[in-house]
Amino acid sequence: MKVSLREASDNDLELLLAWGTHPQVTRFLPSRPPALTWELHHAWWKTKQHRMDWLILVDDGKTRPRAVGEVHIRDLNTPSPEIGLYIGEVALWGKGIGRQALEEAMRWAWAHGVKKVQAVIHARNRRSHPLFKGLGFVRVGTGRKGQWLYERTRP
């Protein structure tokens, strides 16, 4: 399965909101309002700065590529931007899609002069810890409450 990224746009907001309100998808996200509404989601989207958001596309070779998740790098105006992702289609968890998406997003970051990225991962998120460690991230401490902070320096 081939994975690629496409920059997210206003046209993707409904899909992002659907994923952003799915309880299995959001249970380990670092920060989410208790009840994400269209108004909150749209207001956030219109004010976001210093970040890149991409849709994760998969191409199985049988149908046209389709969006299955989101990867982002935020705080690009800081020395250590934060990278994160989620696969919105739960049936596709564990298929290597997140790894490929993170690798592509990090290639973009390195090409744009980022020297170090960090990830804040919920302590109980058993899928994300090995994913980020496998990509060279090192746990350097705690992040927000109940979360661990990982870092990766540009090769």
Confidence at 31, pLDDT banded by 50, 70, 90: low
Of 56, 111, 62, 49, the residue nearest 85 (C-alpha)? 56
Q: Considering only the top CATH level, what class is 2-153?
A: alpha beta
Confidence at 30, pLDDT banded by 50, 70, 90: low
Q: If you average pLDDT over residues 49-70, what whole number do you get?
A: 91
Q: If you average pLDDT over residues 123-131, what whole number do you get?
A: 90
When the pLDDT of each residue in the chain is averaged and rounded to a whole number, the result is 88
Residue spans per domain, the chain? 2-153
* pLDDT tens sequence across 82-102: 999 988 888 899 999 999 999
The structure's pTM equals 0.87
